[in-house]
Amino acid sequence: MTLELALVIAALLFLIGMALIILRRNLIFLLLGIELLFNAAMVIALAGGARWHSVTGQVLVVFMMALSGAALALTLALLLRVKQELGGDTVDDLRQLREEVDE
């Protein structure tokens, strides 16, 4: 029963993270949603490790923490850069890839 509830919590976290990514316009909330997605994956890995009495689940979670931290540091640096260059921190400011040619 514990493992099933853990999987339910993971599904809930994944749904909330997806909803944050899809619904919110602010880029900070988008990054919070990505962290929630990572946490849902971590819950599933730990539930698997607990189910089969294996240490591999915890090892996977440790690496996932390092990966999400690295991704977040890079993305926050990019976010600050976006704020400097485009003057906003919402998804709507990221509509274009090419540089704007005025003349």
Partner 1 sequence: MTIFLILLLLLIILTTGAALLVVRDPMHGAVNLGVSLLALSILFLVLGAPFVAALEVMLYVGAILVLFLFAIMLLRTPLTIREEPRWRRGFWWPAVLVVLLTAVLILLFSRRPDLMVLIQEIGPGTVGRALFGPYLWLTEAVALLLFAVIAAVLAIHRRDDHDA
Max CA distance (Å), the chain: 66
Out of 25, 37, 65, 101, the only residue in the binding site for partner 1 (CB under 8 A) is: 65
Burial 12-31 (b: 16+ CB within 10 A, else e): ebbebbeebbeeeeebeebb
Task: Map residue 25 onto helix, strand or coil.
Answer: coil
Out of 21, 25, 41, 58, the only residue in the binding site for partner 1 (CB under 8 A) is: 58
Residues 7-46 that bind partner 1 (CB under 8 A): 8-9, 12-13, 16, 19-20, 23-24, 26, 28-29, 31-32, 35-36, 39, 42-43, 46
Residue 90 phi/psi, 5-degree rounding, is -115, 170
CB 89 to partner 1: min, Å = 5
Contact (Cβ atoms closer than 8 angstroms) between residue 6 and residue 41: no
Torsion of CA 56, 34, 77, 58, to 10 degrees: -10
Q: Does the protein bind partner 1 through residue 72 (CB under 8 A)? A: yes
User: Which residues here bind partner 1, judged by CB under 8 A?
Assistant: 1-3, 5-6, 8-9, 12-13, 16, 19-20, 23-24, 26, 28-29, 31-32, 35-36, 39, 42-43, 46-47, 49-50, 53, 55-59, 61-63, 65-70, 72-74, 76-81, 83-84, 89
